[in-house]
Copies of this chain bind each other. A is one copy, B any other.
Amino acid sequence: MGSADVPDIVIGRLPIYLRALNFLLEEGKEITASQELADKLGISSAQIRKDLSHFGEFGKQGTGYEIRYLREQLRKILKVDREWDVALVGAGDLGHAIAHYGNFDRNGFHVVAVFDHNPRKIGAKMGRFRILDSESIPTVIQDMGIQIAIIAVPAESAQQVADTLVEAGIRAILNYAPITLNVPPGVQVQYIDPVVYLQRMTYYL
């Protein structure tokens, strides 16, 4: 299950399917069809069936998908059938909001260390976290075996933070700094820059 040959754009849609299946389960449903998912997600049912077919045969012609089973399969494929530790760099307003974003914990992503380089912040409490010195990133990441990090520092320092994280063994970075990062092959980066999304929409207004 899972293959290096599956296009990244397909992988990118799987979490959307997973989220929709969770909602259907919460609504008390047990069976769904690609058409129902299509209507919910604005993705064609043919596309959904094709995406899923990369990983096996999950539904039966005419009877649809057993939601709980398909959800478990997607969780395994995406490797979110386990818990993940996450390091957070940046203890400003944004870092605070990220550290306390309930949906991370609910989905098995646990912020376990928060770093900042500001001497006035180091050692202080931020909610349930004690802010650690950015200097200790390599030691802490290696000792705890953390593979995922979130960057919430200003754009100017984001590349340097990314370099440190990658050096320490981080293999997936969620970057909130409004800058494109250079990372070596094999390291994943995803971007959250709300301005980019707004600018993409104003084009159509």
Q: Measuring CB to CB, which residues of chain A are less than 8 angstroms from any residue of chain B?
A: 2, 11-12, 14-16, 18-20, 23, 40-42, 77-80, 84, 86, 93-94, 96-98, 100-101, 103-104, 107, 109, 147-148, 150, 155, 171-172, 174, 178-180, 182, 188, 190-205
Contact = CB atoms under 8 A, between A and B. Distances in A.
Given A16-B180, A19-B179, A19-B180, A174 B192 contact: no
A77 to B, nearest CB: 7
Given A11-B203, A180-B42, A174 B190 contact: no
Q: Top 4 nearest A-B pairs by Cβ distance?
A: A97-B97, A190-B197, A172-B201, A15-B199
Contacts of A77: 203
Nearest to A109: B198
Contacts of A200: 11-12, 14-15, 78, 188, 190
Given A79-B202, A109-B195, 12 more contacts: A15-B195, A40-B180, A78-B202, A93-B101, A94-B101, A96-B97, A101-B194, A104-B198, A107-B198, A107-B199, A148-B201, A172-B205
Nearest to A199: B15
A96 to B, nearest CB: 7
A196 B16 contact: yes
Contacts of A155: 23
A130 B75 CA distance: 42
A170 to B, nearest CB: 10
Contacts of A11: 200, 203-204
A50 to B, nearest CB: 18
Nearest to A2: B203
Nearest to A197: B190
5 contacts: A15-B199, A79-B205, A101-B194, A148-B201, A188-B201
Contacts of A172: 198, 201-202, 204-205
A44 to B, nearest CB: 14
